[in-house]
Amino acid sequence: MAGSTRALPIADAGLLEERRRHLSPGLEAWRRFRRHRLAVASVAILLTIVAAVVLGPWLWRLAINDIDFAARLARPSWDHPFGTDDLGQDLLARMLYGGRISLAVGLAAMFIATVVGSIVGAIAGMSRGWIGSALMWLADLFLSLPQLPLLLLVIYLFRDGLRVLLGPEGGVFVLVVIVIGGLRWMPVARLVRAQFLSLREREFVEAARALGASRMRQVVRHILPNALGPVIVAGTIDVAAAIIAESTLSFLGLGFPPDIPTWGRILYDAKDYLDLAPHWALFPGAAIFLTVLSINFIGDGLRDALDPRRVL
Amino acid sequence: MGLYLVRRLLIAIPSLLGISVVLFMVLALAPGDPFEELATNPNVPPQVRMALRLKFGLDDPVPVRYVHWLTAMLSGDWGFSFVSRVNVDQLIMQRLPATLFVIGAAQLLALAIALPVGIYAAMRPYSLFDQIANTLAFVGFSLPTFFTGLLFILLFSIYLDWLPFVYRADIDATGWRWYWEHVRQAVMPIAVLGLFLGASLTRYVRSAVLDVIRLDYVTTARAKGLGERTVVIKHIVRNALIPVVTLVALQMPAIFGGAIVTEQIFRIPGIGSLLISSILANDTPVVMAVTFVFACLVVLFNLIADILYGWLDPRITYR
């Protein structure tokens, strides 16, 4: 749309540009994304963090629970680049290990939120009866629930049960992911429904319907791919929100147990030693901040890149 | 206006009921038993335990228990704290003012930052000021409150030694000194929460003002010779505020999350820190009641936002 209006005044140049720009939707999106310099820088930072967390434990071979009282609360040095905690455990090793969990929680919770949200939104968007309004009422209800208190309540009530069922690590992981994901599907559902409501009346869907496409095929082949842009943006931002939520839980001492040093958990342990060992709190805090900030910027860049109506 | 208020109140009731159902379902589905402590206590004979279970209706079907619980909550019987041995409603009433004070002050601070910055940035979109403000806003809402809190303590309490980092309810001073101490200890928690809220609010204000600023009536106002100040304040901001009010209300659940964290860091005796300490002490009646109070507060603030909305936007008739 934007291209055709631009092509009108100077037809030749417009046509040339048109040909150059008709590469593919993916390349077009990348061209738009590159304009957001902070988003591109954020991709680099995030990739570095992910690479460090995924590959780091193989390269930095100190154990996360290697207790060394001689190096208690040591400042950053060549032996311990990020310093040590009150038991002399190496913070770099702990952060590399814990970062895996923090990022995994973020991704898994985003996945749940996006899938649940898309399904609810799609059902609400396709239904023409009371189901749609009932589902949206439910979404509004969930939106007005106070998230953190409810998270805390659910964790408090279900923690012990799941721990018995899945072991201390698995239990908390599953619980945290389900609860964070389960409380974040509403924005996605509303987005998807709004997209579906307008897309389902478009001519190309009508054409598909006229050709005898089943409801499922209309949704999966024709409507959903066109509704995906905002969902990707919302999903990206959800990763950041889920990382913050997990860190908050761990920071309050109600997330992962002490032997799983997620970034929030390291901060929780560090907060009583702020005067003696500020580095202990600064490194994990900075890691959370950098990760969340770069994800948010990437989300902003994607918003520019995936919105076809926006002229850049 | 009166009728509109009544209608809004009537709409709030189903959502409160819905929230209470969700909370109770969570409690009912949870494994574990509030009487577990009695079951493992060898001093309580099993007959007494069974009698207690019968008396409190623990073996009734879930809907019956829900109705019991709801009527008890509505009639003001919020139960008894296992740990501090006082009535839950008393405990919450003691703690609520501190929470409301911090949240209210933080909200005011957020508005005091977001309104001028957002409006100024929207008046000059894509200028240097706008870009800096936008980047800072991103930094602001990417900084989790627990980390800002620790940074503030590190900077202002440990290095500079300006502000106390523990909030005390019992300050032994009188007159001006008492107020001064209160202000000093409240500065950091309010700043932490206020900056976090202000950051996202700035972006909302900016985009709301940008939506309004292109409309024809603004051009008309300028064309008929009104001063820039009048145009901005009376014509633009007044209308841009309408969506902002809704967004402030929608932010409310997030604010309570932030308040819990801030209260925990600075040890403010509010209901947020009460929630955490009750969870750590397995004090179920308090946990349930505090969560419910948070939910009620969210609904209440949504209600207030709707009323403000009606007042700000005369096009919404009070039908």
- Per-residue pLDDT of chain A (312 residues), as tens digits, is 444 444 444 445 555 555 555 667 778 778 888 888 888 898 999 999 888 888 877 877 777 776 776 667 667 777 777 777 777 677 788 888 888 888 999 999 999 999 999 999 989 888 878 888 888 888 888 887 778 888 888 887 787 777 777 676 777 788 888 888 888 888 889 888 888 888 888 888 889 888 988 888 888 888 888 888 888 888 888 899 889 888 988 888 887 877 788 888 888 888 888 777 788 888 888 899 999 999 999 988 888 787 755 554
3-state secondary structure chain B: CHHHHHHHHHHHHHHHHHHHHHHHHHHHHCCCCCCHHHHHCCCCCHHHHHHHHHHCCCCCCHHHHHHHHHHHHHCCCCCECCCCCCEHHHHHHHHHHHHHHHHHHHHHHHHHHHHHHHHHHHHCCCCHHHHHHHHHHHHHHHCCHHHHHHHHHHHHHHHCCCCCCCCCCCCCCCHHHHHHHHHHHHHHHHHHHHHHHHHHHHHHHHHHHHHHHCCHHHHHHHHCCCCHHHHHHHHHHHHHHHHHHHHHHHHHHHHHHHHHHHHHHHCCCCHHHHHHHHHHCCCHHHHHHHHHHHHHHHHHHHHHHHHHHHHHCCCCCCC
Say whether residue A250 is in contact with chain B using an 8 A CB cutoff. no
Its pTM stands at: 0.84
Radius of gyration of chain B (CA): 24
Tokens 């389900």: give the residue. Answer: A178
B17: tokens are 């009921």
Residue B87 φ/ψ, nearest 5 degrees: -65, 145
Q: How many CB pairs under 8 A join A and B?
A: 134
Q: What is the pLDDT of residue A5?
A: 45
* Partner-chain contact B142 A289, CB within 8 Å: yes
| B103/B268 Cα distance (integer angstroms) | 12
Residue from A204, A237, A182, A249 nearest A42 by CA: A237
Contacts of B18 in chain A (CB under 8 A): 141
| Whole-complex ipTM | 0.82
Q: What angle do CA A46, A52, A56 make, to 5 degrees?
A: 165
Average pLDDT of B55-60? Answer: 66
Is residue B136 within 8 A of residue A283, CB to CB? The reply is no
Q: What is the pLDDT of residue A7?
A: 43
Largest CA distance in chain A: 77
End-to-end CA distance of chain A: 13
Average pLDDT of B145-171? Answer: 79
Beta bridge partner(s), residue B87: B80
Mutation target among A45, A157, A304 for the B interface, most CBs of B within 10 A = A157
Mutation target among B16, B27, B279 for the A interface, most CBs of A within 10 A = B279
| B299/B19 Cα distance (integer angstroms) | 10
Is residue B149 within 8 A of residue B188, CB to CB? The reply is yes
Q: What is the pLDDT of residue A9?
A: 47
A254: tokens are 């109600």
User: Which of the pair, B194 or B309, is modelled with greater confidence?
Assistant: B194
In Å, what is the CA distance from A10 to each residue of A5, A20, A23, B149? 10, 15, 21, 57
Is residue A100 within 8 A of residue A53, CB to CB? The reply is yes
Residue A84 φ/ψ, nearest 5 degrees: -130, 170
Flag whether pLDDT at B305 surpasses 70.
yes
Which of B142, B158, B260 is nearest residue A292 as measured by Cβ atoms? B142
Which of A157, A281, A297 is nearest residue B150 as measured by Cβ atoms? A281
Residue-wise pLDDT for B163-199, tens only, equals 777 777 666 767 777 777 777 878 888 998 999 989 9
Which of B15, B138, B261 is nearest residue A144 as measured by Cβ atoms? B15
Contacts of B139 in chain A (CB under 8 A): 293
Which of B138, B147, B261 is nearest residue A296 as measured by Cβ atoms? B138
